[in-house]
Amino acid sequence: MKKQKVLVTGGAGFIGGNFVQYMVNKYPEYDIYNLDLLTYAGDLTKHREIEEKPNYNFVQADIADKEAIMALFEKEKFDYVVHFAAESHVDRSITNPEIFVLTNVLGTQVLLDAAKEYKISKFVHVSTDEVYGELDFDPTTFFTEETPLQPNSPYSASKASSDLLVRAYHETFHLPINITRCSNNYGPYHFPEKLIPLTISRVVNDEKVPVYGDGKNIRDWLHVLDHCAAIDLVLHEGVNGEVYNVGGHNERTNLEVVKTIISTLGKSEELIEFVQDRLGHDKRYAIDPTKLERLGWIPTYTFETGIAQTIQWYLDNKDWWEQILSGEYQSYFEKQYILK
Ligand code: NAD
Ligand code: TYD
């Protein structure tokens, strides 16, 4: 029987990286292809333990490079695409929106064209709850799959645009697709520009932690491995054309998150520094995951167990985030993949 080939885009990033490791280990009978441009957010050192496995492959390419993407699909004849590659940081989208449109919108369209041309069996587009905009502080309101898209940042606007293209390729060309919209992830290999890993690394080093505004904005946190399991389920069991929200009912204010990390590490709350608020800062995100739960998904981490595991992981893997902060990780690709 032909081995199933799975193309994972953005597999050198945080969530894509965890997903690549999850798939390589769970499905030795699949060939997993990690396609990544290796931007500032792409780090291959995280794959040291899987890079020699026979079912792991790495390709460096830009998803917006039509020629390269078409040539790769022609050569490899993928069965599935799981699409993570994106510019993902809201603050960067405020200072430089253009790259968000190029990668998140144009890049997705190039992949959709290739998926259509080479008749893949399923395209899973990994999106975000941020496409729905913001909720107010009423704890009984949630984003459902029917909530209208009302993105507020250039990042979420670019992701919403890509969601609509995915939908359009399904409607127009009958491309088999699913879209997942997940809440904020945390866990191992989270790039230390985002709130949780930034706070852990700063607190460990007794540095100030910048909290935007009054710290009362709410995010709904999900452990990255629960997200990986959700995408695996949608890839194999998702009903063609459907959108699935992913979230585990773990709403916390930013201040609660920061204080939890500080107290777990036994440090002082004097490290907290309130700074100028983010422009267009969304008040609250909260997911209703009922539809995915009906498909059989159950998260395994509570915020308490997940954040404790994550803090311990950052303490045990200081080398990893120190080489990210120093920029040293960027030479690993040359050493391992070009000079080899
Ligand atoms: P990340 O920034 O950690 O990783 C993105 C990866 O994409 C990097 O490895 C980068 O090198 C790669 N990449 C960027 N531009 C590329 C291009 N032009 N061609 C090929 N590769 C390119 O992001 P993440 O946090 O792992 O998020 C992954 C996906 O999940 C994104 O689509 C994001 O919108 C979505 N998402 C993230 C969260 C979250 O909390 N982080 C929540 C829900 C959904
Ligand atoms: P972030 O991790 O950037 O994710 P997102 O903007 O996609 O939700 O930010 C999470 C929350 O933390 C968000 O409300 C902004 C806030 N935040 C801070 O207060 N300080 C920081 O240094 C960062 C990076 C984020």
User: Looking at ligand 2, which atom is closest to the CA of residue 89?
Assistant: 3
Confirm whether 321 is domain-assigned: no
Ligand 1 nearest-atom number relative to CA 102: 18
Residue 156 CA, distance from chain mean position: 13
Helix 254-264 to helix 303-316 angle, to the nearest 10 degrees? 50
Does a structural domain hold residue 215?
no
Ligand nearest to the CA of 247: 1
C-beta 184 within 6 A of ligand 2: yes
Specify the pLDDT at position 2. 73
The structural domain count of the chain equals 1
**Torsion angle, CA of 7/8/9/12, rounded to 10 degrees?**
-130
Beta bridge partners of 58: 34
What CATH number is associated with residue 86? 3.40.50.720
Residue 268 lies in a domain: no
**What pLDDT was estimated at residue 1?**
64
- Compute the distance from residue 154 Cα to the ligand 1 centre, in Å: 15
Per-residue model confidence (pLDDT) at position 337: 75
pLDDT reported for residue 132: 98
pLDDT of residue 334: 81
State which residues form the domain around 21.
5-190+221-249+283-303
DSSP state of 40: T
In terms of pTM, does the model score above 0.75? Answer: yes
Q: Which of 76, 315, 288 is nearest to 197 (CA)?
A: 315
Which stretches of the chain score pLDDT less than 50? Answer: none
Pairing outcome for strands 177-182 and 122-128: parallel
Residue of 134, 194, 211, 256 best suited for mutating to test ligand 2, as the one with most atoms within 8 Å of CB:
194
3 state DSSP class of 62? coil
33 catalytic per annotation: no
**What ranges in 61-129 are assigned the alpha helix state H?**
66-76, 90-95, 98-100, 107-117
Summarised one tens digit per residue, pLDDT across range 303-325 is: 999 999 999 999 999 999 999 99
Query: Is residue 257 in some structural domain?
Result: no
130 is catalytic: yes
Q: Is residue 83 part of a domain?
A: yes
Q: Which residue has the tokens 């990690």?
A: 34
As a whole number of angstroms, the distance between CA 8 and CA 86 comes to 12
In a domain, 278, yes or no: no
Residue 324 counted as domain residue: no
Asked if residue 33 belongs to a domain, the reply is yes
Ligand 1: which of 8, 9, 15, 190 to mutate, judged by most atoms within 8 Å of the beta carbon? 15
Identified catalytic residue from 33, 56, 132, 155: 155
